[in-house]
Amino acid sequence: MNPLEAMKQAELNWQPPQVPEDIPQGDTPGDKIWIGPQQIEKANTLFPKILPMLREAMEKNPSRRAVITVCGGSGVGKTGISSLLAFYLNQLGVGAYTLSGDNYPRRIPSLNDAERFRIFRAAGVDALVAEGLYTPETAEVLKNLQEEGLDPQPKQAEAYPWMEVYQAAGRKELDQYLGNPVEQEYDRLESVLTAFKKGENKLWLKRLGREETALWFDEKDFTGVSVIILEWTHGNSGKFQGVDIPILLNSTPAETREYRLLRARDANTDTPFIAMVLELEQAKLEARAHAARIILSKAGKIISYDQFKAQMDANR
């Protein structure tokens, strides 16, 4: 049975298969996540909804290939749910591969975090100088706050009113960096998706680890693969071409922070700066939510864009 026929049949009578303990996951080096009952339940909800959309996208492509992206805040379950969707497709006889967008920043995580901090602080200091608020006294206070990692914390402006100028300018400049081409290699990723959808089988995929020397490329053979599932915060950003079915896993910044703490993949997970980054990323996800073809709530329910907006407004 060819992939299109397999999907058409599954649309009528698909039942979730038993999920083994160890299934193939995303391709970020060293990234290993635990897949729990909640992720399985969410994947089971999504899969029947995806099938007709996926079949339609593949029928429109002469190479009979398509790309799904699963996006959402950091730690919301993108890798696990994407891996489950790929597993389900492979079980049907529809070749699927989970590709992690976390391989496509221009810097490794620690260096990118440092660059984010540099941008925030440089813009903040520039604003203080421009507003005539930079003095030896403010410089000393600011230095102490920076050393403690507290300069992004909003409540510092209560004690030091000039911090409001510093934080607003830093936040604005940081927002221009996060998720934009200066931070992410959208062009390289787009070239991979374009070549895949044209039917090319041998593609070089970027690998980005957590050390400065952990950058290399692997040649992946996509023979027999019909679907790429791109799991990435920025998968629905609209800054690159090639995605057929964008899926948004919704969560609030507070929920995203909780997920990150539980995952504990990165250092400095619970800091004022990370809280600010998550808020900015959440705003970008919300701004592009209208483009998602499927939105899944934290409770695991498929919701409309209007329902999504109502949920987000209620959590503000």
Query: Tell me, what's the pLDDT at 28?
Result: 76
User: Per the structure block, which two tokens stand in for 238?
Assistant: 């609209």
Query: Tell me, what's the pLDDT at 252?
Result: 67
Query: Tell me, what's the pLDDT at 261?
Result: 58
User: Which residue, 73, 25, 106, is CA-closest to 235?
Assistant: 73
In the predicted model, what is the mean pLDDT of the chain? 92
**Is residue 191 in a domain?**
no
pLDDT > 70 in the chain, percent: 93
**Is residue 189 in a domain?**
no
Distance CA 177, CA 47 (A): 34
Q: What predicted TM-score, i.e. pTM, was given to this entire model?
A: 0.92
**Is residue 183 in a domain?**
no
Sheet hosting strand 302-303, strand order edge to edge? 96-100, 227-231, 66-72, 245-249, 294-296, 302-303
- Sequence-ordered list of residues with C-beta below 8 angstroms from that of 301, at least 6 positions apart, any chain: 45
pLDDT tens for residues 106-162?
999 999 999 999 999 999 999 999 999 999 999 999 999 999 999 999 999 999 999
Query: Among 71-80, 189-198, 240-249, 264-273, which is the least confidently predicted range?
Result: 264-273
Instruction: To the nearest 10°, report the CA torsion of 197, 202, 203, 209.
Output: 130
- 73 and 215 belong to one structural domain: yes
**Is residue 195 in a domain?**
no
Encoded amino acid at 219, one letter: E
Outline where 150-220 has alpha helix (H): 156-159, 163-177, 186-197
Q: How many domains does the chain have?
A: 2
Hunting for tokens 């073809």 — which residue is that?
293
- 234 and 172 belong to one structural domain: no
Query: Tell me, what's the pLDDT at 55?
Result: 98
| Residue 90: how many other CB atoms lie within 10 Å | 18
Distance CA 79, CA 58 (A): 23
Q: How confident is the model at residue 25 (pLDDT cuts 50, 70, 90)?
A: confident
**Is residue 188 in a domain?**
no
**Is residue 272 in a domain?**
yes
Q: How confident is the model at residue 177 (pLDDT cuts 50, 70, 90)?
A: very high
Distance CA 215, CA 211 (A): 8
| Residue 91: how many other CB atoms lie within 10 Å | 16
Q: How confident is the model at residue 33 (pLDDT cuts 50, 70, 90)?
A: confident
Hunting for tokens 């007709």 — which residue is that?
52
28 close to 103: Cβ distance less than 8 angstroms: yes
**Is residue 60 in a domain?**
yes
State the residue range of the domain holding 116. Answer: 109-177
- 244 and 294 belong to one structural domain: yes
- 98 and 217 belong to one structural domain: yes
Q: How many CA atoms lie within 13 A of 54 on its CB side?
A: 30
- 277 and 130 belong to one structural domain: no
Question: What's the angle, vertex CA 309, arms to CA 262 and CA 76, rounded to 5?
Answer: 15
What is the total residue count of the chain?
Answer: 316
Domain boundary among 154, 177, 200: 177
**Is residue 243 in a domain?**
yes
User: Per the structure block, which two tokens stand in for 271?
Assistant: 């800091």
Query: Tell me, what's the pLDDT at 307?
Result: 94
Distance CA 227, CA 222 (A): 9
- 95 and 122 belong to one structural domain: no
- 137 and 67 belong to one structural domain: no
Q: Report the CATH number that the domain containing residue 270 is assigned in CATH.
A: 3.40.50
- 265 and 249 belong to one structural domain: yes
- 228 and 302 belong to one structural domain: yes
Distance CA 8, CA 52 (A): 7
- 92 and 222 belong to one structural domain: yes
Distance CA 81, CA 128 (A): 45
| Residue 154: how many other CB atoms lie within 10 Å | 13
